[in-house]
Amino acid sequence: MSELTHFNEQGRAKMVDVSEKYDTVRTARAKTSILLNEAIYHQIKDGSNKKGDVFAVAQVAGIMSAKNTAQIIPMCHPLALSGVDIEFEWNVNKEASHYEVILYAVVKTKGPTGVEMEALTAASAAALTIYDMCKASGKEMVIGPTMLLEKTGGKSGDYIRS
């Protein structure tokens, strides 16, 4: 196991000093999902949600949250992101009444630390936004699981979830 680096000599939390690390290109891809009911599925598909275009608003929320991850995750470094993208994919089985949106967030930077937390935050915020915009039509929505799928760059090397 690697040494824990987020604690000072008194055993209290600290932000890791990355000033000695080299800038490298870093990417991360995260995934989450949200289970919906049939009415919400149709609202999103045909654009009839009273709050607006659900995927467009969720996309903006995901991008904004990636850019602001350091504001809500205490030990994250503020990063200049090179790019953020949110993708939506339907997983529908009408016979089984299964209506699911799968969300992917891809984040990229060139810097001294990775963007895994930014990708996970973006995916989560996008899913939460779908919930917020659709909750009037069903509060039984389920978000998750949320996971890192892959990351590139940095001292620890690349990672791909098997």
Active-site residue set: 132
Q: Measured between alpha carbons, how far is 54 from 56 in angstroms, rounded to an integer?
A: 6
Strand pairing class (24-36; 98-111): antiparallel
CB within 8 Å of 16: residues ≥ 6 apart: 5, 6, 75, 113
Give residues with Cβ within 8 angstroms of 33, minimum separation 6: 91, 100, 101, 102, 103, 127, 143, 144, 145
Taking the C-alpha atoms of residue 8 and residue 15, their distance in angstroms, rounded to an integer, is 9
75 is in an annotated binding site: yes
Distance (Å, whole) CA 133 – CA 127: 10
Measured between alpha carbons, how far is 119 from 30 in angstroms, rounded to an integer? 5
Residue 76 is labelled as binding a ligand: yes
Is 77 marked within a binding site?
yes
Structure tokens belonging to residue 20 = 């000695």
List, as residue ranges, the binding site for substrate. 75-77, 117-118
* Residues that constitute the known binding site: 75-77, 117-118
